[in-house]
Amino acid sequence: MADPVPPNGQTAMIGIGEYRVGSFPMMTIGLGSCIGLTLYDDSLKVGAMVHIMLPESAGREDRPGKYADTAIPLLLKELGAHGCKSRSLVAKMAGGACMFEYFGTNLNIGERNAEKVRALLKEHNIPLIKEDVGGKVGRSVTFHPASGGKVNVRRADGTTGVL
């Protein structure tokens, strides 16, 4: 199970393929085609965040947080262990950009990531209540489970947003 407390009460930094569960602030920096996905239970003020890189694991089990199809069941299991019921969860996501237009030849990975996450959330009946995806811009995302599951987005162009 993911460690429920962050190091030294700081914001937990979540690298590619990593995830955390708890009530402390969590952050992913520089999302390009990757997705920062949060699941949140308002009755418990507990949430989870994962930094997804690719849509499909193709059977790989070594890093479940790296792929959309293994990350979502994993987060549901971890949140369940914290007492969250899947029917009380809501989801938000950011990222899924296309940073290099020319290399769009083998389909846009950012778009595929976002589509896969949407489909899986639907499958698990978890409403996706807010999203900031696509475009050609990098995003850093901070998730605050203790403050109502607020997600702050900062884009590379200096603009900000709240999900």
User: What is d(CA 88, CA 90) in angstroms, rounded to the nearest whole number?
Assistant: 7
Q: What's the closest the beta carbon of residue 131 comes to other proteins, in angstroms?
A: 17
Q: What's the closest the beta carbon of residue 152 comes to other proteins, in angstroms?
A: 13
Catalytic sites, residue numbers:
34
Give 15 or 73: the residue with its C-beta nearer to other proteins: 15
User: What is d(CA 101, CA 18) in angstroms, rounded to the nearest whole number?
Assistant: 27
Give 75 or 84: the residue with its C-beta nearer to other proteins: 75
User: What is d(CA 71, CA 117) in angstroms, rounded to the nearest whole number?
Assistant: 9
Give 72 or 89: the residue with its C-beta nearer to other proteins: 72
Please give the residue ranges that form the binding site for other proteins (CB under 8 A).
Answer: 13, 15-18, 29-34, 53-54, 58, 60, 62-63, 66, 97-103, 106, 109-110, 136-140, 156
Q: Contact, 24 vs 5, CB < 8 A? A: yes
Q: Within its chain, how far is the Cα of 127 from the centroid?
A: 14
